[in-house]
């Protein structure tokens, strides 16, 4: 019925339908098939458009719902913030009071005291080994002895300051409770600080029993070993290292590379000075004045005929020997002549290898970091 109606309305279509089926289009397909294929393709092209429009509509609805939810959350958060502000304004302001008698890290006196005690510690690191090598200087020079005891008194004051100094705990929380400060200090550096100020040599030399034993026996060597306890204060340089370089950085604005280089140079000088004094102390310790030289009772000072030389000559010679040994040069003009001195020489050579490796690694790291910084700046 539908076909007849179309033919009646469109007589021209009858002519098309009356044409033989062999008639083909330009691409070789029959015209009727070509028309049906085009109609199917047009139908297929229309359906995705409808689906795509529906998807866009769904996405638009979802985005509008999401934006509405976000606006509700923002409004809720703003209301909560307003409530907190009003609550904070309604609460009375609390003043942060410092505990009475507690020294805080940002106090001006605390900053100056740290710098001062660090300077005293550096001086002590040079004078303490020197006193070990030349103990007669304290006995003959009253001013020198007074200077030594003055430094001990300053370290005693530093112990009192540490018992009352607030510090930063975990997560940079300031700890100003006296109980926690005392417990932390007692568990930490207190024993080393206390051992550094106890004059064991003065206590032993002041007793009559000790003097009599020193005169009639060979405990005089052990008495000399007691003076080594004063070297414990050298460990305080590890404790004060961070404070020293932090203050220097604040004053002179030095870089990290220069700071490491300065610390390596200072460590090398202190090591050479310390081992030079130990080398002189070893010569004095390994010889018994009650025995003659024929029994092998000799040292490097006697072997080099330096007995009559003054303090400056002995120290310079010992420093020269230490530097040549630690730097693995070793000219051989000075060497150990007894078992104790040879043991010290072995220790110096091992120490020299370790320090050379440490210095090489430090310098390499400094140069590498410097080149990386210049490359980034370029």
Distances (CA, A) of 102 to 87, 98, 163, 165, 242: 33, 8, 9, 6, 22
Is residue 10 in a domain? no
Asked whether residue 168 falls in the same domain as residue 245, the answer is: yes
Q: From 233, 253, 273, give the residue that closes a domain.
A: 253
Asked whether residue 163 falls in the same domain as residue 121, the answer is: yes
Asked whether residue 226 falls in the same domain as residue 152, the answer is: yes
Is residue 7 in a domain? no
Burial of 236 (0-12, 13-18, 19+ CB in 10 A): buried
Asked whether residue 193 falls in the same domain as residue 90, the answer is: no
H or E segment and range at residue 47: helix 31-90
Is residue 212 in a domain? yes
Asked whether residue 89 falls in the same domain as residue 109, the answer is: no
C-alpha dihedral sign at 322, 324, 328, 333:
negative
Cα 328 versus chain centre, distance:
30
Asked whether residue 360 falls in the same domain as residue 317, the answer is: yes
- Residue 158 makes CB contacts below 8 A (sequence gap 6+) with 113, 117, 193
Which SS3 state, helix, strand or coil, does residue 103 take? Answer: strand
Asked whether residue 121 falls in the same domain as residue 244, the answer is: yes
Distances (CA, A) of 210 to 97, 99, 218, 339, 349: 54, 48, 12, 28, 37
Is residue 266 in a domain? yes
Asked whether residue 238 falls in the same domain as residue 297, the answer is: no
Asked whether residue 306 falls in the same domain as residue 367, the answer is: yes
Range 54-63 contact pairs with CB under 8 angstroms and sequence separation of 24 or more? none
Task: For residue 192, give the nearest of 148, 162, 165 by alpha carbon.
Answer: 162
Expressed in angstroms, the distance from the first to the final Cα of the chain is 88
Q: Where is average pLDDT lowest: 145-149, 237-241, 338-342?
A: 237-241
Looking at the 3D structure of the chain, how many domains does it have?
3
Where does the pLDDT of residue 97 fall: very low under 50, low under 70, confident under 90, or very high at 90 and above?
A: low
pTM (predicted TM-score)? 0.63
Q: Where is average pLDDT lowest: 79-93, 96-110, 124-138, 344-358?
A: 79-93
Is residue 21 in a domain? no
- How far apart CA 299 and CA 297 sit, in angstroms, is 7
- How far apart CA 131 and CA 127 sit, in angstroms, is 6
| Residue 328 belongs to domain spanning | 258-372
DSSP states of 147-170: HHHHHHHHHHHHHHHHHTB-EE-G
Where does the pLDDT of residue 291 fall: very low under 50, low under 70, confident under 90, or very high at 90 and above?
A: low
Asked whether residue 197 falls in the same domain as residue 279, the answer is: no
- How far apart CA 148 and CA 142 sit, in angstroms, is 10
Q: Where is average pLDDT lowest: 109-113, 156-160, 198-202, 289-293?
A: 289-293
Is residue 206 in a domain? yes
- How far apart CA 50 and CA 47 sit, in angstroms, is 5
Vertex 228: Cα angle to 225 and 231 (nearest 5): 175
What's the confidence (pLDDT) of residue 32?
A: 44
Question: Which of 58-62, 148-152, 293-297, 346-350 ranks highest by mean pLDDT?
Answer: 346-350
CATH number at residue 339: 1.10.287.70
Helix, strand and coil content of the chain, in percent to the nearest 5, comes to: 75, 0, 20
Is residue 46 in a domain? no
Is residue 69 in a domain? yes
Per-residue model confidence as pLDDT tens digits over 61-90: 455 555 555 554 444 444 544 554 444 444
Q: From 201, 236, 253, give the residue that closes a domain.
A: 253
Asked whether residue 276 falls in the same domain as residue 140, the answer is: no
CB atoms within 10 A of CB 79: 10
Q: From 195, 227, 253, give the residue that closes a domain.
A: 253
Per-residue model confidence as pLDDT tens digits over 194-214: 887 877 666 665 554 544 444
Per-residue model confidence as pLDDT tens digits over 213-261: 444 444 455 556 666 666 676 676 666 666 666 766 666 666 677 777 7
Asked whether residue 172 falls in the same domain as residue 201, the answer is: yes
C-alpha dihedral sign at 369, 370, 375, 378:
positive
């Amino acid at each position: 019925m539908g076909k007849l109606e179309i033919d009646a309305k469109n007589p021209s279509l009858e002519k098309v339908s009356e044409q033989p089926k062999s008639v083909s289009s330009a691409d070789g397909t029959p015209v009727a098939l070509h028309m049906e294929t085009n109609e199917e393709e047009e139908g297929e092209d229309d359906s995705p458009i409808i689906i795509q429009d529906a998807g866009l509509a769904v996405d638009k609805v979802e985005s509008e719902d999401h934006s509405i939810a976000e606006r509700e959350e923002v409004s809720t958060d703003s209301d909560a913030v307003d409530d907190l502000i009003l609550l904070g304004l309604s609460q009375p302001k609390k003043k942060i009071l410092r505990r009475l008698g507690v020294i805080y890290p940002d106090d001006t006196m605390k900053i100056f005291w740290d710098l001062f005690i660090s300077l005293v510690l550096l001086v002590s690191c040079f004078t303490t080994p020197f006193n070990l090598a030349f103990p007669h200087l304290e006995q003959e020079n009253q001013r020198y002895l007074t200077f030594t005891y003055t430094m001990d008194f300053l370290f005693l004051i530093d112990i009192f300051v540490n018992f009352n100094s607030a510090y930063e705990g975990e997560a940079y929380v300031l700890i100003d409770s006296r109980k926690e400060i005392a417990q932390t200090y007692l568990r930490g550096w207190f024993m080393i600080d206390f051992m550094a100020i106890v004059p064991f040599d003065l206590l032993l030399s002041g007793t009559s029993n000790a003097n009599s034993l020193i005169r009639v026996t060979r405990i005089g060597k052990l008495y000399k070993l007691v003076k080594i306890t004063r070297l414990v204060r050298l460990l305080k340089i590890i404790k004060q290292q961070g404070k020293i370089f932090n203050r220097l950085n604040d004053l002179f604005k030095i870089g990290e590379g220069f700071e490491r280089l300065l610390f390596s140079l200072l460590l090398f000088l202190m090591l050479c000075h310390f081992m030079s004094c130990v080398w002189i102390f070893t010569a004095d310790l390994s010889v018994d004045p009650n025995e003659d030289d024929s029994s092998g009772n000799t040292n490097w000072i006697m072997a080099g005929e330096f007995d009559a030389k003054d303090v400056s000559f002995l120290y310079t010679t010992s420093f020269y020997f230490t530097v040549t040994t630690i730097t693995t040069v070793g000219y051989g003009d000075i060497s150990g002549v007894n078992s104790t001195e040879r043991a010290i020489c072995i220790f110096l050579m091992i120490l020299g290898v370790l320090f050379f490796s440490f210095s090489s690694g430090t310098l390499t790291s400094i140069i590498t970091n410097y080149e990386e910084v210049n490359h980034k700046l370029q």
